[in-house]
Amino acid sequence: MADSRLQRAYDSARRWLREELPVAEEQAAESLLHVMGKIREYLIAAEELTRDEAQLVAETLRYDLREAAHHWHDLKLEYVDWAKFDVERIEAAVLEKLKAAADPTWVELARFQGGRERLKDGPAPE
């Protein structure tokens, strides 16, 4: 079946990406350092800045890039938290629908057994 073949290919590509991502990140960091060096040289040549002034501009740019990366990371975490909350709400809604569709006898039996477990554990701390 074509779908299972595509799924296997996707899973294989995802595993390969997981293995290769650290190498790509390292290469990106090295490339960024190289670009920052070129920026310094450009600023010295085009803007007639001193090497120290160009270094200051490049360092400020690097700081701004780092801050932007942290901002995107924090934003990603917010989305992950939001998605977890949404999944919990969906799970609760599905559970309620299942309870409504279930035989009331089984629901009451489960509730009774839950009460017995709580009694076995002793009184709840206050």
| Residue 125, in any domain of the structure | no
Task: Find the mean pLDDT for residues 27-53.
Answer: 81
| The pLDDT of residue 124 is above 70 | no
Residue 97, domain member (yes or no): yes
Q: Tell me the Ramachandran region of residue 48: left when phi exceeds 0, alpha when psi lies from -120 to 50, beta otherwise.
A: left
In percent, the amount of the chain with pLDDT more than 70 equals: 94
- When divided into structural domains, the chain yields a total of 1
122 — pLDDT class (breaks 50, 70, 90): low
pLDDT value at position 1?
43
Taking the C-alpha atoms of residue 23 and residue 11, their distance in angstroms, rounded to an integer, is 19
The verdict on residue 115 lying in a domain is yes
Within a domain: residue 100?
yes
| Domain membership of residue 54 as a residue range | 2-120
pTM recorded for the entire structure: 0.40
